[in-house]
Amino acid sequence: MADEVLKQFTPEKEAQAIDVSRRLKVGIIGTGWIAESHIASLKKMPDVDIVAGADLIPGKAEKFFKKFEVEGVRCYPDHKAMIDAEELDAVTICTYNATHAECAIYALEHGLNVLLEKPMTVTVEEAAAIIRAEKKSGKVLSIGFQPRFDENMKMIKKIVESGELGQVYYIQTGGGRRRGIPNSTFIEKKTAGIGALGDIGCYSLDMVLNAIGYPKPLTVSGYKSDFFGTNPKFNNPADAARFNVDDFAAAFIRLEGGIILDFRIAWAMNIDTPGDTIILGTEGGLRIPSTDCWNGAPGGPMTVYKQIAGEQVETVIPLKKTKGDLFDQKIRSFLNAIKNGTPSPVPSSQILYNQAIIDGIVKSAEAGREIEIEIPEC
Ligand SMILES: NC(=O)c1ccc[n+]([C@@H]2O[C@H](COP(=O)([O-])OP(=O)(O)OC[C@H]3O[C@@H](n4cnc5c(N)ncnc54)[C@H](O)[C@@H]3O)[C@@H](O)[C@H]2O)c1
């Protein structure tokens, strides 16, 4: 259902269809780096009033709205103070991962629609708790995976759904950076909870799981390490001293339907890329080239491998240009779902499985063995 929503969405059509007489009051929770992309897109929406903002750091929200020249925004010291004081329609949650769950649950419990940044949470238990609050509220919850709106990402799903690959049985995915460890709030458990696994791993997982219809994950054998983040030879010494999340993770995951998912992700490694994404099916194979700096977009034209009339043939799928800005589309699709009563563009029911895999990798790595993936009732 949500895929139908995405397929129909084109920025041009939506721009014409926006009912500006029905306005939405939006608050921004967390006014750090990614909130800059949110506010830039929200400002372009003709039916949005940005009325409130919150940040834990005193004065940060005020400075943020001044920088973006949005006047009359009321600023608060945290999400609770903002939600308690304001009459909002929606919030966008741009906080670090460790506070995603508390902010989303509080907003949903107070009857607000929520656009929540990726990764959905740190743990699968938190993701399930958000979904329970979502179900009780009946409000829209969308998770911030803007690569879903990329035409090449849509093409991957189209190829799988066309049946050209036959029955998919094996997928290798992941991505990485030779040297690309972030800093600030991304490298400590108390703020990020997880490292490369959550930051860029969630995109790799979404790329392939969305293409194959998000089958339930069953078991995982996971590994994670922190050799680069903690080493002052490879990381700024002050950051190395406080680094306590993963900078590399790998896993072997069994999915419902007999599909194997082989995954690896790195913020830093002694090689250029950890390999292309490949999707193997009984009738064809798809190669999606990796990038030097993985951020959720294919690194070049994709190739489909098949046998036709006894010959081994390859078809190159040229890269498609995405119309419009991905962030605008992520935010517009969320607003449209609120106004039109349509399903969430990036539904939590799918991303729960993404989070369950991430959580499973952490738990398996810590246990040092394969584990069953347990998905809490929601
Ligand atoms: N979609 C994307 O392309 C993309 C890109 C970068 C980051 N992100 C995600 O966005 C999130 C934020 O990343 P960032 O780089 O902006 O981090 P950041 O540290 O720059 O900003 C987060 C802000 O949230 C504030 N905050 C935390 N808890 C709060 C609360 N309860 N109430 C109010 N404010 C609170 C912090 O004080 C901080 O200023 C992360 O989850 C990250 O994974 C998404």
Tell me: cis bond preceding 119? Omega within 30 of 0 counts.
yes
Angle at which helices 33-44 and 326-340 cross, to 10°: 60
Instruction: Give the C-alpha separation, 12 to 263, whole Å.
Output: 36
pLDDT of 86 above 80: yes
Which stretch of 3-12, 144-153, 262-271, 287-296 has the lowest confidence by average pLDDT?
Answer: 3-12
| Burial classification of residue 82, based on how many CB atoms lie within 10 Å of its CB (0-12 exposed, 13-18 middle, 19 or more buried) | buried
Three-class secondary structure of residue 147 per DSSP: helix
pLDDT band at 1 (very low <50, low <70, confident <90, very high): very low
- For tokens 């449209």, name the residue: 336
> What residues line ligand 1, using a CB cutoff of 6 Å?
29-35, 54-57, 60, 78-79, 94-97, 99, 103, 117-118, 144, 146, 184-185, 199
Class of domain 151-321+356-372 (CATH, top level):
alpha beta
**Distance in Å from the first CA to the final CA of the chain:** 19
pTM, entire model: 0.96
Atom of ligand 1 nearest to the CA of 295: 3
* Phi, psi (deg, nearest 5) at residue 69: 55, 45
Ligand 1 pocket: which of 73, 106, 117, 191 to mutate (most atoms within 8 A of CB): 117
**Interval between CA 94 and ligand 1 midpoint (Å):** 4
The whole-number average pLDDT for the span 61-66 is 98
The predicted-structure confidence for 136-176, as pLDDT tens digits, reads as follows: 999 999 999 999 999 999 999 999 999 999 999 999 999 99
**Of residues 353 and 295, more confidently modeled:** 353
Distance CA 104, CA 91 (A): 9
Quick count: other Cβ atoms within 10 Å of Cβ 45?
19
From 31, 24, 93, 34, select the one nearest 67 (Cα to Cα).
31
Residues 277-287: pLDDT tens digits?
999 999 999 99
Q: How far apart are CA 289 and CA 316, in angstroms?
A: 11
Residue 11: predicted pLDDT: 54
- Name residue 93's beta-bridge partners: 29, 116
Structure tokens at 285: 């194979």
Q: Calculate mean pLDDT across residues 68-97.
A: 98
Rounded CA separation 179/215 (Å): 33
Q: How many other CB atoms sit within 10 Å of the CB of residue 122?
A: 24
Q: What residue type is assigned to position 301 of the chain?
A: P
C-alpha dist (Å) from residue 256 to 4, 246, 350:
23, 27, 14
pLDDT per position as a tens digit, 195-246: 999 999 999 999 999 999 999 999 999 999 999 999 999 999 999 999 999 9
Q: What are phi and psi of 306, to 5 degrees?
A: -145, 170
- Tens digits of per-residue pLDDT, 292-339? 887 778 999 999 999 999 999 999 999 998 889 999 999 999 999 999
- Rounded to whole angstroms, how far apart are CA atoms 346 and 165? 25
Which mutation among 29, 33, 330, 331 tests ligand 1's pocket best, with the greatest number of atoms within 8 A of CB?
33
Cα of 231 to ligand 1 centre, how many Å? 25
The class (CATH top level) of 2-147+325-346 is alpha beta
What residues does each domain of the chain span?
2-147+325-346, 151-321+356-372
34 CA to middle of ligand 1, Å? 6
